[in-house]
Structure formats: structure tokens, C-alpha cells
Structure 1
Amino acid sequence: MTSPVFLTRVVLRNYKSIGNCDVKLQPLTYLIGANGSGKSNFLDAMHLVRDALVGSLDNALSERGGLPEVRRRSSGHPTHFGIRLEFILPSGMRGHFAFNVGALKNGGYEVQTEECAIGGRGKGPFYSIERGKLKQSSESTFPAVTSDRLALVAVSGLTAFRPVFDALVSMGFYNLNPKLMRELQKPQDGRLLKPVGENIASVIGHLEKHAQEQIKTIEEYLQTVVPMVHGFERKAVGPMETLEFRQDMAGSAHPWRFLAQSMSDGTLRALGVLTALFQGNRDYSPTLVGIEEPETALHPAASAALREALTKASRHTQIIVTSHSPDLLDDPNLDPDSMLAVLSEGGETHIAPLDEASRRAMREHLFSAGELLRMNQLTPDREVLATQAKNQADLFGDISV
């Protein structure tokens, strides 16, 4: 089986509360930290990349309140932010995509530098752009680009760079909203679940047609989390659609059927999380799935099933979850390498692997990650943070090994 890892390394500069970040990702990565520590901002940086490629950079920034709300606020008043994503394509080729966006005096913004390379500089497809002008490229022809858009959108028309574009837009990021999942939905593209679950009926319908084995997996985990629920299916309601659930009722020999509008927040969130995890199929599969606090609205007893589902899904799709739940992490077999600790100090977010004391306690089975979290002992490695601050990683240049 090929590795599920798509993003191997993420470097951020001045993104929201994150001044500087340089971390490596695993098939399953837990971002652990208190409320308000900046976990969501880390996921949002990758989400912005996807939004800017699917729509436009202008829309992606506007949806987040504009450049002033995206770049980090500090006494130093940074005027730019930067993102670097290192990846492994489905073909096995490594590469990176990086850019920084800076403010203009008239209140606008520009992509100051953008770079994409597959296989390393001089070894494969490559381009470098500064302020809307092509500086270097491996290709004999190159589309027109402008400084207010990411060039990869235009460059995706070239065969060499299409795999990078396709992989980045196939990332999915989720903060599921039971209220919207409960409402009647217009039929939509069901290949990829949308961020708050607003097209979940279409996604379930797509899986019913193309991946019955995934539906079975989702149903099995959902029944473990919500034992009364025996199944679900897409249901047409005039020109709209919703989900219909089969649920045990006392005194009835057969399950009763209920539409999504009658189901609890916990049940709908659980279904949304499981659908996000197991939506991949032969027709379409996400390269990465990021989920905000998947344990929200679930009973603590469901944590073991959720943790098992996360692990199973990560064998086929790279998974990143944010959490501050000791119950979700209460497993002595969790790998300390799969965790990144997130800490906020002075309004700035710091992200790094766990410190050596925490790692040793987990490796020697002295404490589980959940127990350490209850004792407030899951903290980032201070030496790594000091190194990050002293030797800030270059957004541009060849990939790290």
C-alpha cells in the first residue's frame, strides 16, 4: 500500500496568531492545545491554500476578513504572511509549493513571491514568480500571471503542474455544523464533503452509488458511537434532499425511520466526522482531511470508537485533527510522534513536537497522552521552539529531507 501522507512539512510565517511554524506531519497528526491556542489557525492556513486555488485568493482572504485579519497582529506590524507546503504526490514524487502575500500602500495586496517545484530545483518541473512576473521556469511556454492571484491556478493548465493543483484542491477541512446538516439540502456535487457538512446528503448518495463498502464502514462506527442508530440513507424530498435514519424504538419490532431534522447534534456530528474520514472511493478521494475537535457533542464513552476510526482512516488518507479532549487521547498505544503540542504565549501561537519528558512517559507507558493532558503536561519541546525562532525556515528553496 502506498503511504497516505500527502503533506510532509508545513512552514508558516505571520499567519494569524502564528508568527513562525515549521512542523512535519504524520499519516495521523493530533494538534493538541487549549481553546484559543491557535490550533484552528494552523488548519486554516492550509484551508486558505485550497480556497485560493478553487476560487481566488481575493475571495479566500475576504472570507477571512481581508489581509489585515489574516496576517499576524503584533507590535512589529508584519505586512505579509507566507505559507510553504512540502508534499508527496500520488506518483511518489516529492515537491513543494510556497508563496508570500504582502500589503500594498493603497490598501491592496500582492503575491510577492510564488514557487512550485516537483522533484527539486533543476530536477523536474519548476517555476518561480515575483510580483506577477515569471523569473524562472522549466517549461518552454508559460501562461500569463498577475500579482493578485496564485499562479498555480493558471499553471494548472500545464500537464507538468496539474498533479500539484489537483492534490491541493483535494484537501478537505471540517468544522461540522449540525444545524446545516439537519436542513433540507439542494442536490450538489457529492464527491467531496463541504466544510460544515452542507452537502452531506449528496456525499452519502455518491457513496451509495460508488462505494458501498465505505457506507458499511460508516454505519458500523456510527452504531458503535450511537447504538440506537441502525443505518441511514439519502432521501429525496421534492427537489431537495436529506438523510433518513433507522433507529430502534422501545416496543417496536422494527427500527423506526427519522429524517435528519429529528436527529440530535451528537448523532449528526458523528455521522459528519465519519463521512469526512471515509468519503474516499474509486471515483474520488481526498488527499488530506482536517477535522476540528471531532469529539464535540459525543459522549466520552464514544472516544475509543472515534480514535479507532481516525486510525483506520489514516491508513488511506492523511488525517489532521485538533483536540483538547483527554478522553480521545486516553490510549497507551498512541504514538507520541503523531502529536503536535500547541501553546499560546503573549498572543502568539507556538507549535512543536511534544517535549522529551512527555514522549518518554508515553513510550514507557507511564502515562497515556490523555492522562498527561489532564495534568497539563502535554507541552511543546522548548528546544525545538527556540531553534524555530533562531533559525527561521526559508519559505523558498529546495525541499527538506
Structure 2
Amino acid sequence: MIVSQIILKNWRNFQSVEVPLQDRVFLIGPNACGKSNFLDVFSFLRDIVQEGGGLQKAIQDRGGLSKIRSLSAQPYLDVEIEVHFAKSTHQEADWKYAIGIKQESRQPYLAYERVWKGKEQIIERPDSDDKKDKLRLTQTHLQQINANLEFRNIAQFFESVCHDHLVPQMVRYSNEFSGSSISGDPFGRNFLERVAKTQEKIRNYRLKKIEEGLLMAVPQFQKLTYIKDELGKSHLQALCEHWTGNGAKQWEDQFSDGTLRLIGLLWSLLESNSLLLLEEPELSLNAEIVKELPSLVYRLQKQRQVILSTHSWELLSDKGIAGEEVLLLTPTENGTQVELVSSISEIQPLLKAGLSIADAALGRTKPPKIEQMSFFK
């Protein structure tokens, strides 16, 4: 099951969005246009259904409904999210889930919650019980086991969403960062715990596959292993050719940023069949590695859907990326506009002529006043 369409109203940067999604989706646009906020829709829905989460906490963790509601929207308008699911691209939706969220007396409430199975609507809220007890509208049926039986597969889908934006320093110095972890651990603070908690046979398989990738991408690299130190703490250990003579080995706190980023990316691609959200996977990686990322994602994603944001010309120069896979985000006075690159008339002939997305579309993400940076003092 994949997300085949997303509809947003008054969500963060977006006053109104309605776009189809493919198995592989690339988000492009200038800084501050809302690429991370687009991805956060799916993290938000995950946070509603995960253990210890819920609608109220998901909103509070984002600073309240006023921080979620689009700045370009009129005050007090509902925030609305609708997600369509299909077995594969270009098929009719098997399921639809929609919520509207409003605020009264500083308390977020459901304006509505709706679920369709095929063309049959099976949930419509507020229902008669909600009208008798308004506090019921502070929770979704999606998050309640006793209420989501008919559409629990949707809750399970959202619960399994994985958001990856590994920050090497968070892996190297995880003990130095105090406080509770961010939901979903997108920055990799607990990455080594994820590795440690993975069944040994599966862990060894994934690390072997990652080792094969590192052998091709990291000069003089030889071997990657998982170990525990004398205190029982988990580590990744690497051996390279130029250390072999004296038997020297490195732990993850000595790995380069690029090596850690690549390990995290490959682990996430191998980890499960859930929706995977990637933010700028090209960061810290050599340009030649970045060029291979689209085909790498395609080969490893199997049945899972991957949505990634990027600014990289090298990544988008892959001519295997179709215009239907790319969403262009453009800031306007009425919020960020989201378009399929394949639907933009000026770009269509360029793609038909064989140009890559980088050549045909990336120029549209250029800040209009960027040339003036050369005069900055």
C-alpha cells in the first residue's frame, strides 16, 4: 500500500495542495519553501497513532495549532489533511483518511474525521456520541484501538513511517544530548540502539549489504562489524586497508560525516517496507555517490514508497527520474504552490527532448535575488 494522493488545506506553508504521489517522489524548491513541512504531514500522522502519542501531543510537539496553520490562511480556518491509499501507482484508491482540526478556547478539536473503504464511507465524525460528549473530539478514532478496527491497516501504515535525516554528531556523541528524543528519532541519536535491537540474523544481513556499498564508495574501506564494548554499549567498527598493518580499527565516533550518513541511509533503505521520508540525502556525500542515489533508492526500495527532498543537481541529473516523480514547490503570496513537474507546460518539451530534471526544472528553484549575494558586505 502506498500514498497515492495527498490533499492539504492550511497546513504550514501550504494554503491548498492536491497532488498525486508515485512510488518514488522528489521534492524540489528553494530554501524555506516547505519541503520539510510537506514531509512532516506524514510524521504528524505517525505521531498521532504511535504509543504515547495522540492528536493533542502531535499538535503540542509542533508548538500548537497556530504553528501548524498556514500563515497565509485566514485565522481560525481548519487545518485539513486527506490521504489516499492504493495498492500501487495509477490505481484507484482503496482507502481514504481525512481529518480537519480546529481550535476553540485554546483547545484543538476535530472538525471532522472521515474514512472511506473504496467508495464506501465507513467513518463520519462528529457522530451522535461526539455531539453528546465534545471531549471525544479531542482524540481521533485513528489512534484508538477500540475504534479503528475497521481501518487499523491505515493506523499501522502511519505508525511505521520512517523519517531519516541522520546527523553524524548525534550518532558520535549521543550521550551528550540530554532530554527526550524527538519522535521517530530522525536525526539518528538512537541509531545504534536501532541496530542493536534488530534481530541478529537480520542485523548481520543488513550490515553485510552496507559493507558491500561502503567497499564501492569509501576508498580503502575493508570491513564493517557490530560490536559491544566492555560496558555493553553498542558500536559500529570499521577496518580499512591502511590500518591493517598495525591492526587499528575505528569506531563510529571516528567515521567521517559522509560515511555515517551513507551507513544511515543504506540502513533505512534496508530496514522495512514502510513509507520512508528522506531529507537531503546528498548531504556530506561525494558528488559521484550522489549521482547514484536515485538508482540506489529504486533498487532498494522494493515495495516501499520513498519521498525525499533535495537541492542537488547531481542527484537530479539522473535521466531515470520522470517528471511525474518530481514535485516543484514555489513560494507565492498565498502560500507555497506544489506542482508536478510533468504538468508544467514550459518544462514538458525539455523533458521530451531528453533533458534531466536538473537541467529542465532545477533552475526554477533559484532565489530571484541570488545574484545580489555577490554584493553582500
Give TM-score, length-normalised by structure 2.
Answer: 0.83
Structure 2 counterparts to residues 250-329 of structure 1, below 5 A: 250=242, 252-253=244-245, 256-280=248-272, 285-286=273-274, 288-329=275-316
Alignment correspondent of 1:64: 62
Change (3 A) 1:298 1:221: same
Q: Quick check: 290-299 or 209-218, which moved more? A: 209-218
CA shift for structure 1 position 251: 6.3
Q: Distance in 2 between matches of 1:98 and 1:158?
A: 14
Alignment correspondent of 1:201: 192
Count of aligned pairs: 351
Q: Is the 8 A contact 2:347 2:361 kept in 1?
A: no
Alignment correspondent of 2:75: 77
Structure 1 unaligned spans of 5+: 136-143, 186-191, 380-401
From 360, 369, 388, the counterpart of 2:349: 360
Alignment correspondent of 1:394: none
Q: Distance in 2 between matches of 1:306 and 1:329?
A: 9
Alignment correspondent of 2:166: 176
Q: Distance in 1 between matches of 2:192 and 2:35?
A: 29
CA shift for structure 1 position 360: 2.9
Q: Distance in 1 between matches of 2:69 and 2:2?
A: 26
| Deviation sequence 1:265-309 (CA, Å, 0-9, x none) | 2211111111111112xxxx42x1011110011121211232222
Change (3 A) 1:120 1:228: farther
Q: Structure 1 residue 109 and structure 2 residue 108: aligned? A: yes
- Overall identity of the aligned pairs, in %: 22
Q: Structure 1 residue 21 and structure 2 residue 12: aligned? A: no
Q: Would you tell me which structure has more helix in proportion to its own residues? A: 2
| Deviation sequence 1:152-187 (CA, Å, 0-9, x none) | 1114665422222111211111222212212357xx
Q: Is the 8 A contact 1:341 1:378 kept in 2?
A: no
From 27, 31, 46, the counterpart of 1:35: 31
CA shift for structure 1 position 218: 2.4
Alignment correspondent of 1:398: none
Give the match's secondary structure for 2:136. coil
Task: State the AA in 2 paired with 1:113.
Answer: Y
Change (3 A) 1:72 1:212: same
Alignment correspondent of 2:364: 376
Task: State the AA in 2 paired with 1:35.
Answer: N
CA shift for structure 1 position 254: 7.9
Q: Distance in 1 between matches of 2:148 and 2:65?
A: 29
Q: Structure 1 residue 10 and structure 2 residue 2: aligned? A: no
CA shift for structure 1 position 18: 0.6
Q: Distance in 1 between matches of 2:185 and 2:253?
A: 19
Structure 2 unaligned spans of 5+: 176-182, 368-377
Q: Is the 8 A contact 1:204 1:233 kept in 2?
A: no
Q: Distance in 1 between matches of 2:363 and 2:357?
A: 10
Give TM-score, length-normalised by structure 1.
Answer: 0.79
Q: Is the 8 A contact 1:27 1:315 kept in 2?
A: no
| Deviation sequence 1:118-174 (CA, Å, 0-9, x none) | 22216xxx1111189459xxxxxxxx9811111111146654222221112111112
Q: Is the 8 A contact 2:162 2:184 kept in 1?
A: yes
